[in-house]
Structure 1
Amino acid sequence: MLENTVYRLRHDKKLSIGFIGGSITEGCGASSPKTSWVGRTCDWFTRTYPEAEFRFENAAIGGTGSMLGVYRLEHELLDKSDPDLVFVEFAVNDWSWPYDGIFSDMEAIVRKIRTRKPTADIIFIYTATLYTTQSLVAGCEMESRSAHSAVAHYYGNILCVEIGEALRDAVYLHAGGDWLKYTQDNVHPNDEGYRIYADALIAQLEKYLGGAEVPAELVSYGNMPPRLSKFDRTEARMIDPSEAVMSDGWTIINEPICGKGTHYIRADKPGAWIELHFTGRRAGIYQAMTNDSGYFAYSIDGGPEKKDCSYTSAGQIAMCMTNEMEYGEHVYKLRILEDKPEGSSGTSLNFISFIVS
């Protein structure tokens, strides 16, 4: 495991590291990015290998799982930093989603990474919360972790690191079962909780990187086994809103929204519509839910509309997606509705991109 990382650290003395995941990888609950598990891990690399040149890119977004991650991966991580080592942490946010969908998304993430860079190393990170722990204690299966592990075992040479166990041990051995000693809200660690996570991960990194011999050359993992998933999510991609046909009332705003993206498109007048012609099996939007957002309707190929809501009292990145359909040419259309959710100050819709597979 991690032979190519050893080679790059000690032979090339250069390593690009990427992170993708949810809020725990984003560092929610930490007093600063430096005290999160990602920040502490980056600090360990720079201190342990002072002669190496590092690049770090964190593409995590709170509240999102592999379902959106598979669409974001290339544009927001692989294109930006061409990582040699990728940490993937989606098991908690994938919790409660169907096994087959999780497997499809995680399989596509692995295949995308290894297609782009066959010599990249991959590490799956498993975290824990009070709620996942209660579910496991009650005898429930955590299908997300099972799906992630199945992908790792099928493709091989993917290190799975259970840092959540270290936090659970600390909670029950040193805090009498009180998760709030090490977390802000029973989910997101505080600085001490993140230290426990980082220490558990670093112990595994030291095991695989510390005393290993430098390989003679990089190993390629590009010769992958056949895809197992029914649907090929390696086609999952982001499409810029500027490629769509739209009514009056839409504006492209060249700034991030909810701290993400470089630009987004917005409309706030009921009746405003936008449609995308695409080739694939499903489509949707990578949206920013805001306190002035409202309801919208979407349809495929002029069929019946489905209603969804983009309102939240605090900014949140999310996705809205159609069901799978027959692969081919389709038209995805959105329309802003005039009714307003309780608490919302408007009827806007804001999204960063279309997402298509």
Structure 2
Amino acid sequence: MKKGLKYIIYSLIFIVIISMFYLLIDSKQPERNVYKKIADGKQVNYLIVGDSIGRSSGASNNHRKWFQLVERSLTKKYGGSFKRHLVVQSGATAFEGLYKLKNSLSKDVDLVFIVFGENDRKYMDDKQFYFFYQSLLEEIVIRHPHAELVTITESSLDNEDFVHIIKQLSKEFYATNIDMRIPFRNSGLSTERLTNDLVHPNDYGYYLYAQAVVDTMNKAIREKKTVLTSTIPVKEVSSLEMNTLHPFHSIDPSFKNEAGFYTSNKIGADIEYHFSGSFLGVNVIRSEKGGMIDVFVDDNYVTTISTWWPFKKERSLYVTSGLTDRNHTVTFQLSANKSRYNITDQQLVQISSIITN
């Protein structure tokens, strides 16, 4: 009898110790549901990966940027605070966003906004966009497996194939999609009244962006929405390899190495690289003196790239994809054509390296 009683007591003690152990472990795990963190007034770390609309280009001042409006609105209602991380670039595509994200320091975030599409439609078809947008989402899931993902369909995006891709991939990655074309239509105002240039929202346009995000957050909090990103099987996502290749195969003597960028102002001057991969990008400097580059892959004309920009900026530009996965030769040649925005007497081409897998 005594032995049986001792066994029961020891068993109970063992169960209590194990239970306390698991409670201790659980108590040390950070609260990863962003909606609960907002509702509880805790600090929320969030990331925006996007283009000019992602960075609120066109707002009259910092206080009128859509993400600033979101922060103030949610802080006013729930308390707490927000810490913002930006991987954004005006004119960027999902390709450049992915490359910049891969080369940025990884932060521990609770929420990620993805804002692309408007620029992508200018440089790639729907299949190419699908590939890089999917690759971007996969990279985000790998880096931030507990973060809620919010994709934003930009108000200016009129390519229905691209819109469908964003919605489809959002569903596959358990991301919340906010289609900003709907609030713009429902406002009853013309595009001219909501934007500065028919693309970038003005202050009221960004107010509509912010309100749509706040409404989405509030609804998720009311419904106690579960963040499902971490349920995506790791084996179903992969990180796209993006290598930066510096060595060139041949180069026109007019190119001079200026701080790592081969620079020329000579029409017809070219620089050639060898690579093996299915896609191609190029690292350049865009500036007010930027020229046009004709691109040839395996002696076939592919595209012409403008390196004009209103100010000097290092950029990682998409060139092409869907190539056969074998050895290729790419030639970048300074075009005789000039950007209509370039009012200087120069047409500089500045290239440092190529990007491929």
TM-score normalised according to structure 2 size: 0.73
Matched, 1:143 2:161: yes
Of the candidates 199, 216, 220, which is equivalent to residue 230 of structure 2? 220
The alpha-carbon deviation at position 124 of structure 1 amounts to: 0.7
Q: Is the 8 A contact 2:40 2:78 kept in 1?
A: no
Partner of 1:135: none
SS of 2:60's equivalent in the other structure is coil
Of the candidates 305, 310, 329, which is equivalent to residue 306 of structure 2? 310
Q: Is the 8 A contact 2:128 2:322 kept in 1?
A: no
SS of 1:103's equivalent in the other structure is helix
Tell me the matched-pair count.
317
Q: Relative to 1, partners in 2 of residues 1:344 and 1:33: Cα closer, same or farther, differing over 3 Å?
A: same
Q: Where does 1:127-166 land on structure 2 (aligned, <5 Å)?
A: 127-129=154-156, 132=158, 142-155=160-173, 157-166=174-183
Q: Relative to 1, partners in 2 of residues 1:283 and 1:91: Cα closer, same or farther, differing over 3 Å?
A: closer
The alpha-carbon deviation at position 335 of structure 1 amounts to: 4.6
Of the candidates 250, 253, 256, which is equivalent to residue 257 of structure 2? 250
Q: Is the 8 A contact 2:36 2:221 kept in 1?
A: no
Partner of 1:345: 345
Flag structure 1 segments of 5+ consecutive residues without an equivalent.
Answer: 133-140, 254-264
Q: Where does 1:60-71 land on structure 2 (aligned, <5 Å)?
A: 60-71=88-99
Q: Relative to 1, partners in 2 of residues 1:276 and 1:179: Cα closer, same or farther, differing over 3 Å?
A: same
Q: 2: CA distance between counterparts of 1:80 and 1:246?
A: 36
Q: What amino acid is aligned across from residue 92 of structure 1 in structure 2?
A: E
Matched, 1:74 2:102: yes
Matched, 1:35 2:42: no
Q: Which runs of 4+ in 1 moved over 6 A?
A: none
Deviations 1:120-159 (A, max 9, x none): 2210112323x83xxxxxxxx711110111112223x211
Matched, 1:237 2:242: yes
Matched, 1:290 2:287: yes
Q: Relative to 1, partners in 2 of residues 1:221 and 1:330: Cα closer, same or farther, differing over 3 Å?
A: farther
Q: 2: CA distance between counterparts of 1:104 and 1:153?
A: 16
Q: 1: CA distance between counterparts of 2:76 and 2:118?
A: 30
Q: 2: CA distance between counterparts of 1:351 and 1:41?
A: 39
The alpha-carbon deviation at position 266 of structure 1 amounts to: 4.8
Of the candidates 119, 142, 151, which is equivalent to residue 146 of structure 2? 119
Q: What amino acid is aligned across from residue 62 of structure 1 in structure 2?
A: S
Larger radius of gyration: 2
Q: What value does the CA root-mean-square deviation take over the aligned residues?
A: 3.7
Matched, 1:181 2:193: yes
Partner of 2:356: 356
The alpha-carbon deviation at position 95 of structure 1 amounts to: 4.2
Q: 2: CA distance between counterparts of 1:348 and 1:41?
A: 41
TM-score normalised according to structure 1 size: 0.73
Q: Is the 8 A contact 2:275 2:327 kept in 1?
A: yes
Q: 2: CA distance between counterparts of 1:348 and 1:117?
A: 39
The alpha-carbon deviation at position 331 of structure 1 amounts to: 5.0
Partner of 1:108: 135
Q: Is the 8 A contact 1:71 1:238 kept in 2?
A: no
Flag structure 2 segments of 5+ consecutive residues without an equivalent.
Answer: 1-30
Deviations 1:203-258 (A, max 9, x none): 11111135638x8x99723415757xxxx8x42536275x65775612127xxxxx
Q: Percent identity?
A: 19
SS of 2:195's equivalent in the other structure is coil
Q: 2: CA distance between counterparts of 1:118 and 1:39?
A: 25
Q: Relative to 1, partners in 2 of residues 1:277 and 1:44: Cα closer, same or farther, differing over 3 Å?
A: farther
Deviations 1:280-304 (A, max 9, x none): 2222214444332224354556x45
